[in-house]
Chain A
């Protein structure tokens, strides 16, 4: 078969032209697809932003101004919270036999965190015991003395470590913090810290969020002579059945201070 040069040229030109046209057509088709995709996304965004009115865009920008001013108030609150904390943290020592106590504003806790803080001065000449126990909600904290005498504390509950426990506090000035931190997986970790030292840690699971508790809110310094009953600090409620809602709680743990030693254990890892 004879293939002429002209035939070759023609074929090459036609193929080149066809390729050029196809490429241009594909580009246009791709552009159209991209435009359709962009238009669809723009429509979705407009629906999400509810832009049905040209004024809506202006309002959305003003909405950002509104939220920015809330952030500015928050920043000022965070700065001022530290001043308030310092203002209400001070406790004066009243002598070698007097126990002094005050609740301290806990500052701005992180999300899911509840913190109860107390400033204590433990005198040299006295034994001060910090106690924690789990009980039914029917047993309201009448006084720490009656709690000391109680014998029906729950040794098994949804708390992984239910106690009852007692720890003798060392003499000196301390910041006692009781923290409850609920994580995304619904476990709430309870920890008692004396300054930097962790005294106790336990946790419970609750399928629904929400914590109910009541704490001692002694805004002024309280002083306790050797014969005075020491203060109750906190009662926090948690469900016996983890699937119950926080309003259906039947158990609670309480933390209180006492002059007397009980037949309680010591938290794991600590010696009496």
Chain B
């Protein structure tokens, strides 16, 4: 009996043990499936991630190429901007070395090159094309210094031959007049001159002049933008002198300018064209090559 009861006990004890193993198996299997599902999910997520990455890589590639392009443009512009200042100084120094028209080289360029390093003379180069040099003196009495308008003026217009060098000088040795003389390095150009009826002069001054200009370059774009209706005919200034003089016992102030008017439209260099684009009423500019734009001032005036 006791043995049987012991066996019963054993059987009773054995049944729950078998049940526990089944449950564990089911749970284990479930966990395995769950694990597989999680794994598959992560695989799917990874695949999506890799797709997303591929898309991002494409976007990154295009951003990187845009970045590289802009960086290259920025660096080239920085280098060019710092170099152009030095280049201008060298050209200005070179003009200072010239002592007459024969020293002016026939540059292979489309610019007017000149520099007013001193108050007596300047070398000028004009490129191919039609150009007219204007010498203009404006004067007014020193007593009427408050009046902005000059009382009198005298002007000379001299057609120039393109692709030639010139030497402009102001001669002050004469006690009765201030004389100017223009000579050229072209064999067909005859030297010319003129005189102003001033007896003496003193207190001279001059404004700095950009040594390299495109023909008809709009030098003061800011002023041109502000007062497009008051723009004078396109020209560039190559020499400037301000002095006090005496005319028939009257003290006068004289503004003496030498300008060159060329055929063609007003020109805006590319380095200044960007400023015009920021205007509300953007002027019509068209690329005329070699880093310059033509400015349709007529249409701009009509638009205003």
Residues of chain A at the chain B interface (Cβ within 8 Å): 4, 6-7, 9-11, 13-14, 16-18, 20-21, 24-25, 27-28, 31-32, 34-35, 38-39, 41-42, 45-46, 48-50, 52-53, 55-74, 76-78, 80-81, 84-85, 87-88, 105-109, 111, 219
Do A45 and B70 touch (CB < 8 A)? yes
Whether A78 lies near B66 (C-beta < 8 A) is no
Residues of B close to A81: CB separation below 8 A: 93-94, 97
Stretch at the interface among B104-112, B174-182, B218-226, B242-250: B104-112
B170 contacts the other chain (CB 8 A): no
Query: Are B105 and A80 touching (Cβ within 8 A)?
Result: yes
Closest Cβ neighbor of A20 among chain B residues: B46
**Distance, CA A68 to CA B36, complexed state (A):** 67
**Roughly how many angstroms separate A71 CA and B291 CA in the complex, as a whole number?**
13
Contact across chains for A16 and B39 when beta carbons are under 8 A apart: yes
- Does B32 contact A9, Cβ atoms closer than 8 Å? yes
Which of B29, B39, B41, B110 gathers most chain A CB within 10 Å?
Answer: B39
Contacting pair B270 A66 (CB below 8 A): yes
Please state if A27 and B87 are interface contacts (CB–CB under 8 Å).
Answer: no
Given contacts A14-B35, A68-B291, A109-B93, 5 further A-B contacts (CB under 8 A): A17-B46, A42-B63, A52-B277, A63-B269, A73-B113
A74 engages B77 (CB within 8 Å) = no
A-B contact pairs, 5 of them (CB 8 A): A10-B31, A21-B46, A59-B270, A62-B292, A64-B291
Interface centre among A14, A34, A85 (most CB of B within 10 A): A14
CB <8 Å contact, B107 and A49:
no
Give A58 Cβ to nearest chain B Cβ, in Å.
Answer: 8
Given A20-B42, A73-B87, A76-B105, residue A39 in contact with residue B77 (CB < 8 A): no
Count of A-B residue pairs with CB < 8 Å: 197
CB distance from A23 to the nearest CB of B (A): 8
B99–A219 touching, CB < 8 Å? yes
Return the contact of B103 from the options A38, A56, A63, A84 (Cβ within 8 A). Answer: A84
Q: Which residues of A contact B42 (CB under 8 A)?
A: 14, 16-18, 20-21
CA distance A256 to B71 in the complex (A): 54
Select one of A24, A34, A105 contacting B60, CB under 8 A. A34
Q: Are B290 and A69 touching (Cβ within 8 A)?
A: yes
In Å, the complex CA distance between A68 and B66 comes to 24
**Majority DSSP secondary structure for residues of B touching A:** helix
Q: Which of B48-56, B134-142, B191-199 contacts A (4 or more CB under 8 A)?
A: B48-56
- Shortest B74–chain A CB gap in Å is 5
Q: A21 with B111: in contact, given A35-B60, A59-B270 (CB under 8 Å)?
A: no
Q: Whole-angstrom distance from the CB of B105 to the nearest CB of chain A?
A: 4
Chain B residues near A80: list those with CB within 8 A.
94, 105
Alpha-carbon distance between A61 and B293 when the two chains are bound, in angstroms: 13
By a CB distance below 8 angstroms, the chain A residues around B45 are 21, 24
Interface residues of B in 254-289 (CB under 8 A from A): 269-271, 273-274, 277-278, 287
The interface residues of chain B lying within 8 Å CB-to-CB of A68 are 80, 291
- Given known A52-B278, A105-B97, contact A64–B76 (CB-CB < 8 A): yes
* Chain B residues in 8 Å Cβ range of A77: 90-91, 94, 105
* Any A CB within 8 A of the CB of B7: no
Q: With A24-B50, A108-B94 as given contacts, are A56 and B59 in contact (CB-CB < 8 Å)?
A: no
Check if B67 sits within 8 Å of A45, measured CB to CB.
yes
Closest CB-CB distance, B42 to chain A, in whole Å? 3
**B151 interface hit (Cβ, 8 Å):** no
Task: Evaluate contact between A70 and B84: CB separation under 8 angstroms.
Answer: yes
**Bound Cα distance from A109 to B86, whole angstroms:** 11
Known: A14-B35, A28-B52, A67-B291. A84 touches B71 (CB 8 A): no
For B48, give the chain A residue with the smallest CB separation.
A24
Nearest CB on A from B29, distance (A) = 8
Q: Would you call B190 an interface residue if the criterion is a C-beta within 8 Å of the partner chain's C-beta atoms? A: no
Contact between chains at B107 and A76 (CB < 8 Å) = yes
- In the complex, what's the smallest C-beta–C-beta distance from B125 to chain A, in angstroms? 9
Whether B63 lies near A38 (C-beta < 8 A) is yes
Asked if residues A7 and B73 are in contact (CB atoms below 8 Å), the reply is no
